[in-house]
Amino acid sequence: MKYLDQINGPDDLKQIPRDELGAVAREIRGRIIDVVSKNGGHLASSLGVVELTIALHYVFDIPKDTLIWDVGHQSYAHKLLTGRHRDFDTLRKYKGISGFVKIKESPYDAFTVGHASTSISAGLGMCYAKALKQDNSNVVSIIGDGSMTAGLAYEGLNHAGDLQQKYIVILNDNDMSISANVGALSSYLSRTLSHKKLQNMRNQFGQFLKSVPKIGDDMYGWAKRWEESFKTFVTPGMLFEAFNFDYFGPIDGHNLDHLIDILSNIKDPDSPVLLHVTTKKGKGYAPAEKNPVYFHGVGAFAVDTGKSPASTSSAPPSYTTVFGNCMVALAKQNKCIVAVSAAMPEGTGLSHFAEQFADRFVDVGIAEQHAVTFAAGLAAKGAKPVVAIYSTFLQRAYDQILHDVCIDSHPVIFALDRGGIVGEDGPTHHGMFDFSYLRSMPNMVVMAPMDENELVRMMQTAVAHQGPIALRYPRGPGQGVNIDYNAKAVDIGKAKVLRTGGDLLIIGIGRCVNDAMDAALQLSAKGIESTVVNARFVKPLDGDLILDLAGKIKRVVTIEEHVLAGGFGSAILELICDGGISGCRVNRVGINDVFIEHGSQAELRKDYGIDARAVVAAGLKLCCEK
């Protein structure tokens, strides 16, 4: 590649004449599209910021100046310009380049990220630390309009406006979250952006910047005065001015000349500055421009058509799909059900529900904490809220679950998708902590289905229950069992014995029960006969059954796709200890106090030891060692 092959870092980019940067942008797009078409990834967001990324690296002195990407899913161009072009084919592969920004990966990655809306707080902290060290370099946070729906972003803005330190925030406004953006701010930005007078002024402003060479402070002062006269009209800047930021824009985020000029002029500000940049998600690749929702996070596809390969296998429907279908079926019978999503209607399988029950579907934006307290309010007034949020993102709302839902035992249903190892998105996205953080809360019931039909049954249980209740299920296809959407509820706190044997007791939860059954077959071939229990509930455990079996068999293996600390196996240990079962040995299979890297689910389960093999090894240890 003519340009990328010569770029090992931003200094090399700066050697390229300005009028050739458009060609660099084309090469970067080609490389991103090629690799994502094979490995999958966050295509549309990354294509949308190619020019902005080039301009930032052209103007600033990174890593001395600090760039902080919000979410980090749009950082592919940044990776290509900071020495990762040659390894980029390994994007999202096990032990390859991460799909997000990661401090351990590169000195150019200033803050590890994957969850939304952290960039302003983190950036401000860095400004503060730099000021303490009398380091006068810049800090630039780049945040999307979707990520601006979270309260955390406003907490950062509010504090920055008060501190008045040297700080630049860039609002990357593409009018989209994963789906269409929601909320009053989003409509405010779109409304003011389409204001005719504003459009004209924006053009004039751009033309002016284009025609004037950089004249440093004078230009900055002029732009500020110009902006002030501008404020007599309705501008999106008023909101940010209220937070004591100097507001510039909106400017076209695909016009490299404009971007370089204005970034050069706002560089080294005296106080906080917000630059509003408008971009198009999927820019430069027609299928992604046309369907940015699909190409937000996409699997492999054919570059010429944008189509994903037709599925040849008869893979069972995913847990997500079954949950979505189940919600539609339940909502037909129960008029109180309200689905609450935090900016992920597609990801959580709720699109059909949203179409069919528009008034009972609420997308609150990237606002997990609000989603939970909002649901508590719904439940307090007789609705039956189902909060569908990925396990990892619900971590944000720990206190809301505890304080707003559990203390008064409001009947809120938590549907936690992506429980366990999620795969290529890596450590920020694996859902490894939910059993621990949920089971410690009084009044909460915690379930995990072993297959997709049990998911349906647990949803029936949840709807009938009069208190907080959570079920967590994994990413990916179900086990291929028959699904009966009218199946009867499972009884709370009742486990199920799937197989009997006197040598070993294997207790599994969720998807891992299937590994437990595989392991029992393998152990049987070695002469060890196991009882296998599908625990179904992390809380309340089926104490009577488990204590009885543990007392008789005395050798117990637990398996969970979750951290060991405070998880399902810990709950079993507590039960056995508190139940006074003496001489019983327990071996727990789970994740041992580490963050799991990115890679395919199969590779990670094998390498981190969450599979039948690990259960067999644990069982042999108990049965063969004296």
Terminal C-alpha separation, the chain: 63
Question: How far is the C-alpha of 586 from the C-alpha of 571, rounded, in Å?
Answer: 12
Annotated catalytic residue 605: no
- Cβ atoms within 10 A of the Cβ of 318, count? 18
Regarding 393 and contact with ligand TPP (CB under 6 A), the answer is yes
Regarding 121 and contact with ligand TPP (CB under 6 A), the answer is no
Q: Which of 157, 274, 343, 459 binds ligand TPP (CB under 6 A)?
A: 343
Question: How far is the C-alpha of 391 from the C-alpha of 371, rounded, in Å?
Answer: 14
State the DSSP code for 298: B
Spatial neighbors of 148 by CB under 8 A, at least 6 apart, are: 117, 171, 185
Regarding 301 and contact with ligand TPP (CB under 6 A), the answer is no
Question: How far is the C-alpha of 406 from the C-alpha of 444, rounded, in Å?
Answer: 7
Alpha helices in 501-567 (DSSP H): 512-525, 543-553
Annotated catalytic residue 281: yes
Regarding 282 and contact with ligand TPP (CB under 6 A), the answer is no
Query: In 3-state terms, the chain is what percent helix, strand and coil (to 5)?
Result: 45, 15, 40
Q: By the 8 A CB rule, do 616 and 590 touch?
A: no
Q: Which of 82, 98, 119, 147 binds ligand TPP (CB under 6 A)?
A: 147
Select from 138-146, 237-245, 461-469, 485-493 the region that touches ligand TPP (CB under 6 A).
Answer: 138-146
Regarding 546 and contact with ligand TPP (CB under 6 A), the answer is no
Q: Which of 119, 177, 534, 570 binds ligand TPP (CB under 6 A)?
A: 177
Regarding 396 and contact with ligand TPP (CB under 6 A), the answer is yes
Q: Which of 176, 260, 337, 533 binds ligand TPP (CB under 6 A)?
A: 176
Binding residues for ligand TPP, how many (CB under 6 A)? 23
| 357-386 positions binding ligand TPP, by CB under 6 A | 366, 368
| 33-52 positions binding ligand TPP, by CB under 6 A | 45, 48
The minimum distance between CB 506 and ligand TPP, in angstroms, equals 35
Of 396, 472, 554, 588, the active-site residue reads 396
Question: How far is the C-alpha of 127 from the C-alpha of 132, rounded, in Å?
Answer: 9
The minimum distance between CB 72 and ligand TPP, in angstroms, equals 9
Select from 143-151, 216-224, 406-414, 552-560 the region that touches ligand TPP (CB under 6 A).
Answer: 143-151
Select from 172-180, 193-201, 203-211, 490-498 the region that touches ligand TPP (CB under 6 A).
Answer: 172-180
Amino acid at 488: K
Select from 68-76, 255-263, 523-531, 581-589 the region that touches ligand TPP (CB under 6 A).
Answer: 68-76
Annotated catalytic residue 368: yes
The minimum distance between CB 513 and ligand TPP, in angstroms, equals 29
Regarding 278 and contact with ligand TPP (CB under 6 A), the answer is no
Closer residue to ligand TPP, CB minimum distance, 146 or 419: 146
Of 84, 281, 539, 605, the active-site residue reads 281
Going by C-alpha positions, the residue among 308, 189, 166 that lies closest to residue 245 is 166
Q: By the 8 A CB rule, do 572 and 507 touch?
A: yes
Hey, what are 489's tokens? 């509820």
Select from 313-321, 329-337, 339-347, 447-455 the region that touches ligand TPP (CB under 6 A).
Answer: 339-347
Of 51, 79, 93, 368, the active-site residue reads 368
Going by C-alpha positions, the residue among 425, 357, 360 that lies closest to residue 391 is 425
Question: How far is the C-alpha of 570 from the C-alpha of 209, rounded, in Å?
Answer: 63
Going by C-alpha positions, the residue among 510, 502, 493, 588 that lies closest to residue 549 is 502
H/E segment holding residue 22: helix 21-39
Q: By the 8 A CB rule, do 386 and 362 touch?
A: no
Amino acid at 290: K
Which residues are catalytic, by number?
281, 368, 396
- Interface ranges with ligand TPP (CB under 6 A): 45, 48, 71, 73-74, 115-116, 144-147, 174, 176-178, 281, 342-344, 366, 368, 393, 396
